[in-house]
Each structure stands twice: as structure tokens, then as C-alpha cells.
Amino acid sequence: MSTTHATTTPSTQQPLALRRVFATWWPLAASWGLMGIELPIVSAVMARLANPEVHLAAYGGFVFPLALIIESPVIMLLAASTALGRDAQRYRLMHRVMMILGGTLTALHAFLAFTPAFDVILVPLLDPPPEVIEPARLGLQIMLPWTWTIAYRRFHQGLLIRFGHSGAVGIGTAIRLVAGSTIALTGLAIGLTVAPNVPGILIATLAIAAGVTSEAIYSGLRARPVVRGPLHDAEPIQPPLTLAGFRAFYVPLAMTSLLLLLVQPIGAAAIGRMPFALASLAAWPVVNGLVFLLRSAGYAYNEVVVALSDEPHAEATLRRFTLLLALATTSIGLLIALTPLSTLWFRTLSGLPPELARLATNAFWVGIFWAPLDVARNALQGRMVHAGRTRPISLSVAVFLVVATSILAIGVVLQRGEGLVIAMVAFVIAQLAQLAFLAWHVRRLPHGPA
């Protein structure tokens, strides 16, 4: 996260209008939404191939959470390069850090996926159903390019945003979706015709790996004119950025993303120890994909608040937009849950069998309320970033993690109810706790002009 926008000068003396907030928000939301379509596509493909329950569980309950954890230290390279990528010296230092960090984490990924560490460390840690283990091993091996490509593209996307080419980020996301979807649909066609036993996890992870790799290649190529032009010609910033200075800036951000993503493997481990473990793990990526689409509206809102908080009357306008956006996400979620749209999504599009579709619908009813809470969280988080107070954000993620883990542990002990539904309840209650923590800190901030 970056406080870069906090120092911008208001572009107009007119009060901030809701339409300007919307105009700033929707391109970012569209980019997040495109990324959110990726998981439902691969889930729908796996649901139509051999042993769908096993392969969905392997991907959603094992491979994807682990891949997220391994990549978590590089996620904030986007914020770092956006905030600090102002001259050639800083670019070179951060590029070196990016390459070393991406390479180190990729080596860790290879160690866990290709050596006995998979059986010695990961299997006891997550305790998946036995039939999930070998598909998960294959999927984790295919996902090897994931971390380095994400480090590379997020670093270069930050430079594009810094030098006024944020639209290229959306184009990269579209390229990723097209590449991944092409692989997924081609694999589906092969599985339905010439190779009926092709593993769904093979197709899904190939699609994901191809998507992020294509996006990384595009981002690197698109950033070259920036690196050779305005970045190269920029006046050197004094004092120069040192490795110690970058570490002091970046480590708290990396810890924030690590804590946030820990909830995925913790959730998978807990679900695997609760009733209906295999069914819950199989339905999880499908439910998570739909909930993510709703939550993407909130993900896009953090930078909007940071960017526009200096505008006249921004606080009141942003508060109104927050309320409208929260109501919109809740209404869309309820519309899906209360109408045949839920059947269309879980049965027709996602291809879940009736029992898994019923479980997914039950969990989605709880997940609906995660989206508006995320809108409010990002609004408060944006206020904190704008004020330069990032430490409470990290602490709020720790609050989320502690509350969610505690509720999941209770579910494991009680052994009652469906694991996926209990997990969704844990995440929503944890989000409420995080929201309350952030709200308390925001009330202590000085208020701008109303």
C-alpha cells in the first residue's frame, strides 16, 4: 500500500462528486472482476471432467491456498514500485530485490512440490482426504511459475501506474483471462472427447500458470518504454534509496499480505477436519469464486479512497459512495441467492452435482455479507493509508486471523454442521471484528473538511 496519492493536489475546488468517485472506481473494479472470473472458469471445467469432487478439493483446498501463501511476500511489490519507483536508481534496487525474492520463493515452491517435503510437511499440516493427495501434488508442481511471474508483473504494473499508464494493468488482466480460458476450454474439449480420464487439476493449473505467465510477459514488455524513457530521464531522488530503507518500507507490507493469506490454508486445514470434508473442499473454490466476484467491488475501493481523499468535501462523498456500494453488493448477492440465478451458477455454469450445489448455496448465503463488509473495510483502510498510518492495518489483519482461526477451531472440536458453512461464518465474523478495529483507529484520525 502506498501513501503516494495522499500528497496530490486537489484537481478542482468543486466538492467531490459521486460521479467522479464512480469514474475512478469502475476501471479498477473491472480489472478485479476479470481476475475474479478466472476461478469460476477453472472450477467449472474441473466439475465437468473425471472425478470432479476430488480435483476441485485438491485445487481449492490444497494447491491454491498454498500457492497464495508462498507468493504472499511479493504481493505488495505493486504498492512498493508505485510508491518508490521514481528514478533509475530506485528501479534498479527494487528490480534486484524482486528477482532475488521471486527466485527464492520459487525455490521454496519447488522444494515443497518436488521433494519428500510434500509428504513430510504439507500432507500432515493440511491433512487432506487421502484421494486428494496425488492430484494436489501434481497441481502444485504445475503451479511452479506462479510466484515469480506474479512478482515480475506486479513490480512492472506498479511502474505503469506511477507513470500514468494504469489502463495497461486492465489490458494485462484481460490477456491473462483469455490465455487461461483458452487453455481451460481446450482441456475441457479434450477431456470430453479423446481423453475422458484427463485430470481436472492438470487442466486447471495449466490454465492458471499460462494466464499469469502471459500477463507477466505483457507487463514487462509494456513497461519497457517507461523504464527507458521517463524513468531513465527522471531527476534522481535524494537521498538515494538504500536496501535498508526499502526493507523498512516493505517488510510491514509483506507481513500484512502474509497474515491475510494465511486464512486460506488455515481454512482448508480446518474444513478437512470437519464433517463433510471432501464435499466442503470440493465446493469451496466454486463458492469462493462467486463471493470473490462480489468482494471485488471492495478490493477496488481502497485505492479510490486514497486517491480522492484530498478533494474538497471528500469525506462525506466517499461515505455516501461506501454506503451505496455496500448496498449494491448486498442486493446483488441476495438477488442471486433468492432466485434461480443460484441454480444457474452452481449447477449449470459450475457443473456441481445436486448435493454439492446445495452445500455451495448454503455457504453462499453466509458469504453474501462478506462483500459489503469488505467495502467498508477498504474504505476505512483507504483512510488509514491516506493518513500514513499503515501499522493498524497490519494489526487489523491479525485480528481477522485470530478471530477466524478461533471459530474454525471450535468447529473442529464440536464436529457439527458442514465445514464449508462454518468456515464462511468464521470469515464473516472475523471481518466484522477487523472492521470494528479499523473503525476505532479511524475515529482517532484528524478529520478533513466536510
Q: Check whether 1 has a pLDDT greater than 70.
A: no
Least confident of 164-168, 273-277, 321-325, 403-407: 164-168
Share of the chain above pLDDT 90, in %: 51
Buried b / exposed e over 340-361, threshold 16 CB at 10 Å, is eebeebbbebbbbeeebbbbbb
Q: Which residue has the higher pLDDT, 251 or 63?
A: 63
What pLDDT does residue 213 have?
96
Q: Check whether 8 has a pLDDT greater than 50.
A: no
Whether 84 and 246 have beta carbons less than 8 Å apart is answered as yes
Integer Cα distance of 113 and 180 in angstroms: 22
Do 70 and 108 sit in the same domain of this protein?
A: yes
Q: How would residue 304 be classed by pLDDT, with cut points 50, 70 and 90?
A: confident
Whether 246 and 383 have beta carbons less than 8 Å apart is answered as no
Q: Check whether 311 has a pLDDT greater than 60.
A: yes
Whether 76 and 394 have beta carbons less than 8 Å apart is answered as no
Least confident of 123-137, 138-152, 295-309: 295-309
Do 173 and 268 sit in the same domain of this protein?
A: no
Do 214 and 342 sit in the same domain of this protein?
A: no
- pLDDT, tens digit (0-9, with 9 covering 90-100), for 353-390: 899 999 999 999 999 999 999 999 989 987 877 776 77
Q: What is the identity of the amino acid at 39?
A: L
Mean pLDDT of the chain: 87
Cell of 7: 500528497
User: Of 195, 218, 248, at which residue does a domain stop?
Assistant: 248
Q: Check whether 317 has a pLDDT greater than 80.
A: yes
Q: Which domain holds residue 342?
A: 262-450
What pLDDT does residue 307 have?
66
Report the alpha-carbon angle 349-351-356, nearest 5.
120
What pLDDT does residue 214 have?
96
User: Of 193, 226, 248, at which residue does a domain stop?
Assistant: 248
Q: Which residue has the higher pLDDT, 209 or 3?
A: 209
Asked if residue 134 belongs to a domain, the reply is yes
Integer Cα distance of 202 and 185 in angstroms: 13
What pLDDT does residue 388 have?
65
Integer Cα distance of 25 and 32 in angstroms: 11
The most confident of the ranges 30-34, 82-86, 99-103 is 99-103
Asked if residue 39 belongs to a domain, the reply is no
Q: Check whether 167 has a pLDDT greater than 80.
A: no
- pLDDT, tens digit (0-9, with 9 covering 90-100), for 32-78: 777 778 888 888 899 899 999 899 889 988 898 899 889 989 987 88
Do 443 and 342 sit in the same domain of this protein?
A: yes
Do 58 and 170 sit in the same domain of this protein?
A: yes
Q: Helix H segments across 300-344?
A: 301-308, 314-338, 341-343
Cell of 154: 506486479
- pLDDT, tens digit (0-9, with 9 covering 90-100), for 399-433: 999 999 999 999 999 998 899 999 999 999 999 99
* pTM assigned to the model: 0.74
Whether 438 and 396 have beta carbons less than 8 Å apart is answered as yes
Do 188 and 55 sit in the same domain of this protein?
A: yes
Asked if residue 30 belongs to a domain, the reply is no
Cβ-Cβ contacts under 8 Å for 107 (sequence gap 6 or more) = none
The most confident of the ranges 9-23, 184-198, 250-264, 436-450 is 184-198
Do 242 and 129 sit in the same domain of this protein?
A: yes
Asked if residue 24 belongs to a domain, the reply is no
Q: Which residue has the higher pLDDT, 415 or 24?
A: 415
Do 419 and 381 sit in the same domain of this protein?
A: yes
Q: Check whether 6 has a pLDDT greater than 60.
A: no
Q: Check whether 117 has a pLDDT greater than 70.
A: yes
DSSP letter, residue 415: T
Do 242 and 283 sit in the same domain of this protein?
A: no
Q: Which residue has the higher pLDDT, 215 or 390?
A: 215
Do 242 and 315 sit in the same domain of this protein?
A: no
Instruction: Provide the Cα torsion 259, 261, 265, 271; round to 10°.
Output: 100
Q: Check whether 95 has a pLDDT greater than 50.
A: yes
What pLDDT does residue 381 have?
82
E strands, 265-397, where?
A: none
Least confident of 1-10, 105-114, 334-343: 1-10
User: Of 199, 218, 248, at which residue does a domain stop?
Assistant: 248
Q: What is the identity of the amino acid at 87?
A: D
Do 310 and 274 sit in the same domain of this protein?
A: yes
Asked if residue 255 belongs to a domain, the reply is no
Asked if residue 146 belongs to a domain, the reply is yes
* Number of domains forming the structure of the chain: 2
Least confident of 6-20, 202-216, 306-320, 329-343: 6-20
* Average pLDDT rounded to a whole number, residues 160-189: 87
Q: What are phi and psi of 50, to 5 degrees?
A: -65, 145
Asked if residue 400 belongs to a domain, the reply is yes
What pLDDT does residue 13 have?
63
Cell of 329: 453488493
Task: Note the maximum CA span of the chain.
Answer: 66
Q: Check whether 27 has a pLDDT greater than 90.
A: no
Asked if residue 98 belongs to a domain, the reply is yes
Q: Check whether 134 has a pLDDT greater than 80.
A: yes
Do 220 and 266 sit in the same domain of this protein?
A: no
Share of the chain above pLDDT 70, in %: 94
